[in-house]
Amino acid sequence: MAKKKNKNGNNAGGLENGHLIDLRDVHKVYKTDAGDFPALKDIDLKINAGEFAAVIGKSGSGKSTLINMITGIDRPSQGEVFIDGTPIHLFNEGQMARWRGRNMGIVFQFFQLLPTLSVVENVMLPMDFCRMFTPRERYERAMHLLELVDVAEHAHKLPTAVSGGQQQRVAIARAMANDPPIIVADEPTGNLDSRTSEAVYALFEELVEQGKTILMVTHDDDMAQRVSRTIILADGEIVNEYLVRAMPSLTPEQLVSASNKIECQTFAPGEPIILQDAEPDKFYIVTKGEVDIFLSHHDGHETYVDTMGVGQYFGEMALLSDSNRTATVRASRTSEVEVAVLDKAVFNELMSQSEVTHEEIRREAARRSESQERARNGDR
- Pairing mode, strands 78-83 and 86-87: antiparallel
Q: Side chain identity at 22, as an amino acid letter?
A: D
Q: Say how many residues touch ligand ATP, by CB under 6 A.
A: 12
Q: Which stretch binds ligand ATP (CB under 6 A): 61-69, 203-211, 350-358, 371-379?
A: 61-69
Q: In the chain, where does DSSP find H-type helix?
A: 63-71, 93-103, 119-130, 135-148, 164-175, 194-209, 221-226, 241-246, 252-259, 316-321, 344-353, 355-378
Asked if residue 143 lies in contact with residue 120, where contact means CB atoms within 8 angstroms, the answer is: yes
62/165 with CB nearer ligand ATP: 62
Q: How many whole angstroms separate alpha carbon 148 and alpha carbon 199? A: 12
6/65 with CB nearer ligand ATP: 65
Among 6, 23, 47, 65, binds ligand ATP (CB under 6 A): 65
Among 10, 17, 32, 92, binds ligand ATP (CB under 6 A): 32
104-132 burial string, b = 16+ CB within 10 Å, else e?
bbbbbbebebeeeebbbbbbbbbbeebeb
Q: Which of helix, strand or coil describes residue 84?
A: coil
Among 59, 92, 194, 352, binds ligand ATP (CB under 6 A): 59
Residue 61 contacts which entry, Mg ion, ligand ATP, none (Cβ below 5-8 A, type-dependent): ligand ATP
Residue 315 contacts which entry, Mg ion, ligand ATP, none (Cβ below 5-8 A, type-dependent): none
Q: From the centroid of its chain, how far is CA 145?
A: 27
Among 6, 48, 64, 257, binds ligand ATP (CB under 6 A): 64
Q: Is 63 in the site for ligand ATP (CB under 6 A)?
A: yes
Q: How many whole angstroms separate alpha carbon 155 and alpha carbon 139? A: 11
Q: Which of helix, strand or coil describes residue 245?
A: helix
Q: Is 39 in the site for ligand ATP (CB under 6 A)?
A: yes
190/272 with CB nearer ligand ATP: 190
Residue 39 contacts which entry, Mg ion, ligand ATP, none (Cβ below 5-8 A, type-dependent): ligand ATP
Surface-to-core class of residue 304, CB atoms within 10 Å of its CB (0-12 exposed, 13-18 middle, 19+ buried): exposed
125/216 with CB nearer Mg ion: 216
Q: Which of helix, strand or coil describes residue 379?
A: coil
Q: How many whole angstroms separate alpha carbon 61 and alpha carbon 74? A: 16
Q: How many whole angstroms separate alpha carbon 239 and alpha carbon 254? A: 10
Task: Kindly state the smallest distance separating residue 65's Cβ from ligand ATP, in Å.
Answer: 3
Q: Is 85 in the site for ligand ATP (CB under 6 A)?
A: no
Task: Kindly state the smallest distance separating residue 187's Cβ from ligand ATP, in Å.
Answer: 7
Q: How many whole angstroms separate alpha carbon 307 and alpha carbon 304? A: 9
Convert residues 295-314 into a mask of x (bound to ligand ATP by CB under 6 A) and - (unbound): --------------------
Report the chain's terminal Cα–Cα distance, integer Å: 36
Q: What is the 3 state secondary structure string of 247-285?
A: CCCCCHHHHHHHHCCCEEEEECCCCEEECCCCCCCEEEE
Among 37, 90, 140, 193, binds ligand ATP (CB under 6 A): 37
Residue 213 contacts which entry, ligand ATP, Mg ion, none (Cβ below 5-8 A, type-dependent): none
Task: Kindly state the smallest distance separating residue 93's Cβ from ligand ATP, in Å.
Answer: 18
- Pairing mode, strands 291-296 and 328-331: antiparallel
Residue 304 contacts which entry, ligand ATP, Mg ion, none (Cβ below 5-8 A, type-dependent): none
49/66 with CB nearer Mg ion: 66
Contacting Mg ion within 55-84 (CB under 5 A): 63-64
Q: Which stretch binds ligand ATP (CB under 6 A): 9-17, 53-61, 93-101, 334-342?
A: 53-61
186/316 with CB nearer Mg ion: 186
Q: Which stretch binds ligand ATP (CB under 6 A): 62-70, 254-262, 302-310, 320-328?
A: 62-70
Residues at the contact surface with Mg ion, assessed by CB under 5 A: 63-64
Residues at the contact surface with ligand ATP, assessed by CB under 6 A: 30, 32, 37, 39, 57, 59-65
